A and B are shown apart, each in its own frame.
Chain A
Amino acid sequence: MSDTFFSELESEAIEIIREVAATATKPVMLYSIGKDSSVMLRLAQKAFYPGPIPFPLLHIDTGWKFREMIAFRGRMAREAGFKLLTYTNPRGPAEGIGPITHGSAYHTDVMKTEALKQVLDLHSFDVAFGGARRDEEKSRAKERIFSFRAPGHRWNPKAQRPELWSLYNARINTGETIRVFPLSNWTEADIWGYIRQENIPIVPLYFAAVRPVVKRDGQWIMVDDHRLPLEPGETPQMLKVRFRTLGCYPLTAAVESNAETLEEIVAETLGATTSERQGRVIDHDGAGSMERKKQEGYF
């Protein structure tokens, strides 16, 4: 891929980010620590260079992120110098909610969707950036770049505003909010190509390394800490794996890989025969589950 190609994607995303900064009352950028967030962070830095990013970044911490992710989050906040907010739904620690005890659907609903709604209301954020891409999932492919949420953060996919050219109608009534997706037109391969071109720092989990894993339902689950209960007779084995996508650790499966460099990751991505979301347990909860989650306020 040539530079001009990335220039087009980059310029479109920067235009979107600046448009929000120019029109929103109180914007915030969702920061998930993953590769897409890393790209979005770099684009925000570029959009306002030489000034700082004029809005905070927000991490919804489910309490079940890989340890390396949390370490990376702290490092980036220091190095990039953005204002970092973190939020955990108080119900999580209070009720001991987790993906293993409560199942992926309930855990995601409470610790991600509900937490997100709580923190947006808490700070009265009117616009929230997300790193979602249209190539990820079928209902995302249908979503606008400026995506409106009725009071209560509900998405109505059947009544999206027309969105022509790059004229983004950012007008909202009280109680309404907007989710904005600057990476809408990027693909997984674009993300990796851009990370390589720009040399953007990413969580080391994306690179192949020997890690302790167990096989569950045909997928490699990493044993990140003692909270993953082992089945009788199950012993973690050391395997060279990496992650194509990062979420909560028992909900994100690793793939066997030897890709230790960005070049190797790009080559592997271009030759991939399965989609990255295959490693996301949450998407397999049922057909149309992503659309339903989004209607309820999930990103």
Chain B
Amino acid sequence: MDTLRFITCGSVDDGKSTLIGRLLYETKLIFEDQLEALKLDSKKFGTQGERLDFALLVDGLQAEREQGITIDVAYRFFSTSKRRFIVADTPGHEQYTRNMATGASTAQAAVLLIDARKGILVQTKRHSRIVSMLGIRHVALAVNKMDLVGGSQLVFDEIELAYRRFAGELRFETITAIPMSALEGYNILETGCAEIAWYQGPSLLQWLETVPTGERETTRPFSMPVQLVNRPNLDFRGFSGRIASGTVKPGDLVRVCPSGVTSRVKDIPVWGGSQSEAHAGESVTVVLEDEVDISRGDVIAAASHPVEAADQFEADLFWMSEQALLPGRSYAALIHTKAASVTITHIKHRLDINTGAHLAAKTLSLNEIATVTISFDRLVPFAPYPHNTRLGAFIIIDKLTNETVGAGIIHFALRRAVNVHWQAIQVTKSARAEIKHQHARCLWFTGLSGSGKSTITNLLEKRLHAEGKHTYILDGDNIRHGLNRDLGFTEADRVENIRRVAEVAKLFVDAGLLVLVSFISPFRAERQLARNLFDADEFIEVFVDTPLEECERRDVKGLYAKARRGEIKNFTGIDSNYEPPEAPEIHLQTVNLTAEACVDQIMESLVINPID
């Protein structure tokens, strides 16, 4: 008996939870004690008067029952003589779309509910686009509440036609429209109810029992991302993971990505013996004949069909955070078992949920979908999502909050590793620094506007110059006159501002210089991004710690006064946030220090991190 994982989705109040409650009830999956509890709950919270409110069987959180809405996805289980089902009941509210996507990502089919009285809504389209993007190919269009439109065939036909017209641009293979009433039980288990006698198609359950469960990944070439290296003792070394595609057996020739090393499968040990072969979907441990260096995140694949690696991709991205996506910002990512840092380097276009039009976008907000260029900080083994779900799906994680903020699927690699070689350079960074009798460093000064960054860096440069050191200052205001004059002060532009400066500083450090960067740089994520460009000792974060009141009191450039009057928008400290460093290498508390004393403190610290 096979298993079908499906979701119910659609807009608020289309009857998703009621439908599932009805399915569980009709397939005898409700126990007597649960039915007793349901009777009590229906009286207390129910929206159906004296009748049983089936939605209460699935809306399990107190907040959901009180508000009569679904907030998070619920997983329920039932079976018939033909199939076993795992159904994810997903929320209809736009606010909780990420929970709908959670349910959809593991589903093979979708039941999309529509209220016959309301027809197709924006949220119907949003859910359809997400379902399509995540690769679900079979959809039942459940036109619900037919009892409330008198079982009208005309109403049903109009909705079906409109939906088929809309879905033409999506990637569904089949759409099956079914008129039903979850409340009354029309066309749920059986067809042929008198109220909708004109309908000739399957009931919902008949559809669920026969819809294809998806192509068996077993027919594709073998691939397996390595989850962990199992090395309990010196005599055993196995590579554990879940097979993403294909079949593997002892004797098979395999190639490891990205190293390109080949070997043969020696054994597939399993509890109490060995497996003669293993298939897609199975969690296994593979032992190879040769001593090969393989780590978590590598992919073992059939040598005849090796998996490729790349570091830049075109991908579809669904954004799931209230914090907007900022191109250029460094995020954490997970693709199969490989963790990496990523940046979205370009938003190609955002999708208009309603019309499907391609819109220009500088950032992405909650629940938006876009086609983007994503850049990884290392080579990752991959496959296009439609070919291999496990090797083509990734999530994006905010490095500070650790929240999962985005979900994406890879279309194709933009730059293949094989085509890119770094220009081999003979004169090295350390050689350039040595000839100047110094170590190259980047001193990154961060602090509020008016905190004294420029004053301190100017004094410091003079001091260093006097000692015969080769220096350069990158100052926020000056850079904005030239290199960054196309950038404004929105959060997205600030991120790009810092990214460019960090890259320039890196080149100057590479040239052997002592670079003094003087930028407000208010966000930890960007300072971390800058830090990541450098070797461990090269980057020195200097926190010029002057309280906001003091900066505003000094107000050398009169900017605070303007910001307070609302003449400058997005001013750090006033209407834009400053995130102080948590562990700066140098912390200057300027309130009780002169600029000279600050420079003394830096020079002392630099002896600890010696320039000489």
Contact = CB atoms under 8 A, between A and B. Distances in A.
Given A15-B283, A278-B33, A164 B101 contact: yes
Contacts of A278: 31, 33
Interface stretch (A16-24, A62-70, A107-115): A16-24
A30 to B, nearest CB: 21
Interface string A266-279: 00000011110110
A245 B569 CA distance: 62
Contact of A2 (B1, B231, B397): B1
A258 interface: no
Interface string A243-266: 000000000000000000000000
Contacts, number: 168
B33 to A, nearest CB: 4
A160 B72 CA distance: 8
B81 to A, nearest CB: 12
Given A51-B230, A164-B393, A157 B337 contact: no
A11 B1 contact: no
B240 A47 contact: yes
B397 A169 contact: yes
Contacts of B1: 1-2, 5
Contacts of B332: 171
Interface string A151-182: 00000011011111111110111001000000
A51 B105 contact: no
Nearest to A279: B33
Nearest to A17: B283
A138 B60 contact: yes
Contacts of A10: 283
A243 to B, nearest CB: 16
A50 B99 contact: no
Interface string B58-70: 1111110100000
Interface in A118-139: 134-135, 137-139
Interface residues of A, number: 61
Contacts of A5: 1-3, 84
Contacts of B320: 162
B98 A49 contact: no
Contact of A135 (B76, B102, B282, B390): B76
A17 to B, nearest CB: 9
Interface residues of B, number: 69
A137 B44 contact: no
A273 B101 CA distance: 34
A8 interface: yes
A246 B396 CA distance: 41
Contacts of A171: 332, 397, 402
B73 interface: yes
B282 A169 contact: no
B147 interface: no
Contacts of A142: 60-61, 72-74
Interface string B387-403: 00110011101000111
B271 to A, nearest CB: 5
A47 B72 contact: no
B58 A141 contact: yes
B102 A162 contact: yes
A187 interface: yes
B404 A161 contact: yes
A5 B281 CA distance: 11
B422 interface: no
A20 B82 CA distance: 35
Contacts of B411: none
B270 interface: yes
A48 B285 CA distance: 9
B108 interface: no
B489 interface: no
Interface of B: 1-3, 31-34, 37, 40-41, 44, 57-63, 65, 71-77, 84, 86, 98-99, 101-102, 105-106, 227-228, 230-233, 236, 240-242, 269-271, 281-283, 285, 296, 320, 332, 334-337, 389-390, 393-395, 397, 401-404, 407
Q: Which 9 A-B pairs give the minimum distances between C-beta atoms?
A: A138-B60, A51-B232, A164-B105, A14-B283, A11-B283, A275-B31, A171-B402, A162-B98, A22-B228
28 contacts: A5-B1, A7-B281, A18-B227, A49-B270, A49-B271, A50-B232, A134-B76, A135-B77, A141-B76, A142-B73, A158-B71, A158-B72, A162-B99, A164-B404, A165-B106, A165-B393, A167-B395, A169-B395, A169-B397, A171-B397, A171-B402, A176-B402, A185-B77, A187-B77, A273-B31, A275-B34, A287-B40, A292-B62
Given A50-B269, A172-B402, 11 more contacts: A4-B2, A11-B282, A51-B233, A52-B232, A138-B60, A139-B60, A139-B61, A164-B102, A165-B395, A288-B62, A291-B62
